[in-house]
């Protein structure tokens, strides 16, 4: 195979992610370069980049895309129009950017955390939301979001203190509400990693004491127990249904009554926990090779 020109897409500033993200991105960069690929980091919204110069454009860490979602959609349209080979596929990135994808998955039998949709410009009706969800504490977050941005944990008793804030946020974008799951605090949240549709490894993310957010920059920690077989099978089925042609996929979920209930299907820019599993980098590389050897979306 001839030398491959590969772009690892990132953003201008990784902000809170820097310590963790830089190490994973740099580790992946070095590994692919050692395998003979010509790798370069490219910022997704840098107007000077010639995207047609690459044999593959890997969406790795554009972690500000949800702050610039219209520009991100425009960029995806541009890549598609130019016939650029993008991993993951552009159609998948568009679909996965808005959490309304839950509706598609639920329609095909995937168990999703119960969700109430809060449309942009609407008024937050706390009583109806709490009644619909059936819990005394809820999570409210944007439909297009990441890094726990504008994510609020609200109990029924304290809802009055949050109503004005939620209504103000709803003037700018749509949100969703879901039950606050104590299981995330007590058991943790699973992430199952797949490369080109094949299972690679899993991690269990736990929040620090007193918090509900499992992200490392909020004090969360990562563990590597062997996942229950039934939950792994559920995650595998989800990937087979919705991400079989993706270089990478991360299935995030929580164990409820012995079953995996989906929190998110991450197909745009998930952290891949490559350092937590021996051989994960090579499995990523092998998946990339397989995709490079077949037609990639946008490239004849």
* pLDDT the model gives residue 20: 52
Query: What mean pLDDT is predicted for residues 250-279?
Result: 95
**Residue 182: pLDDT band by 50, 70, 90 thresholds?**
confident
Q: Looking at the domain 101-111+183-273, which fold is it?
A: D-amino Acid Aminotransferase; Chain A, domain 1 (3.30.470)
Higher pLDDT, 145 or 165: 165
Cross-strand bridge partners of residue 249 = 194
Report whether pLDDT(24) > 80. Answer: yes
Q: Strands of 86-87's sheet, edge to edge? A: 38-43, 5-10, 56-61, 86-87
* pLDDT the model gives residue 177: 97
* pLDDT the model gives residue 58: 98
Report whether pLDDT(296) > 70. Answer: no
DSSP state of 76: H
* pLDDT the model gives residue 75: 98
Report whether pLDDT(154) > 50. Answer: yes
Q: Directed axis angle between helix 90-97 and helix 69-81, to 10°?
A: 160
| H-helix segments, 151-227 | 163-170, 182-186
* pLDDT the model gives residue 148: 75
CA atoms within 13 A on the CB side of 299: 19
Higher pLDDT, 226 or 16: 226
CATH code of the domain occupying 116-180: 3.30.1490
| Interval 26-61: pLDDT, tens | 999 999 999 999 999 999 999 999 999 999 999 999
Q: How far apart are CA 141 and CA 222, in angstroms?
A: 23
Pairing status of strand 86-87 against strand 56-61:
parallel
Report whether pLDDT(298) > 50. Answer: no
**Residue 212: pLDDT band by 50, 70, 90 thresholds?**
very low
Query: What mean pLDDT is predicted for residues 263-271?
Result: 96
* pLDDT the model gives residue 272: 97
Where do the domains of the chain lie? 5-93+283-292, 101-111+183-273, 116-180
Question: Of 167, 147, 166, 178, whose CA–CA distance to 67 is shortest?
Answer: 147
**Range in 65-69, 195-199, 208-212 the model is least confident about:** 208-212
Vertex 91: Cα angle to 286 and 44 (nearest 5): 75
175 phi and psi, to 5 degrees?
A: -125, 180
Q: What is the share, in percent, of the chain residues with pLDDT greater than 90?
A: 81
Q: What is the share, in percent, of the chain residues with pLDDT greater than 70?
A: 89
Cross-strand bridge partners of residue 8 = 41, 58
* Residue 172: how many other CB atoms lie within 10 Å: 11
Check if the beta carbon of residue 10 is closer than 8 Å to that of residue 25: yes
CATH of region 5-93+283-292, choose from 2.60.40, 1.20.58, 1.10.287, 3.40.50 = 3.40.50
């Amino acid at each position: 195979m001839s030398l491959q020109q590969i772009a690892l897409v990132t953003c201008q500033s990784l902000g809170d992610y820097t310590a963790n993200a830089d190490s994973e991105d740099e580790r992946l960069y070095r590994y692919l370069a050692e395998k003979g690929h010509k790798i370069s980091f490219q910022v997704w919204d840098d107007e000077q980049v010639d995207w047609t110069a690459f044999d593959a454009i890997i969406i790795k860490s554009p972690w500000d895309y949800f702050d610039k979602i219209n520009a991100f959609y425009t960029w995806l349209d541009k890549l598609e129009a130019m016939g650029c080979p993008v991993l993951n596929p552009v159609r998948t990135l568009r679909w996965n950017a808005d959490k309304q994808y839950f509706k598609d998955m639920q329609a095909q039998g995937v168990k999703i955390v119960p969700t109430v949709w809060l449309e942009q410009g609407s008024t937050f009706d706390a009583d109806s939301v709490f009644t619909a969800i059936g819990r005394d504490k809820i999570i409210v977050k944007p439909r297009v979001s990441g890094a726990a941005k504008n994510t609020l944990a609200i109990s029924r008793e304290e809802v009055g203190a949050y109503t004005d804030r939620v209504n103000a946020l709803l003037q700018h974008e749509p949100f969703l509400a879901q039950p606050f799951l104590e299981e995330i605090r007590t058991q943790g949240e699973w992430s199952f990693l797949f490369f080109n549709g094949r299972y690679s490894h899993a991690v269990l993310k736990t929040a620090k004491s007193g918090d509900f957010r499992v992200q490392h920059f909020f004090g969360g920690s990562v563990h590597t127990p062997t996942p229950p077989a039934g939950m792994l099978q559920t995650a595998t089925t989800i990937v087979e249904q919705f991400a079989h042609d993706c270089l990478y996929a991360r299935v995030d979920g929580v164990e409820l009554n012995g079953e995996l209930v989906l929190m998110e299907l991450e197909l745009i820019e998930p952290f891949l926990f490559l350092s937590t599993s021996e051989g994960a980098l090579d499995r990523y590389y092998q998946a990339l090779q397989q995709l490079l050897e077949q037609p990639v979306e946008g490239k004849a």
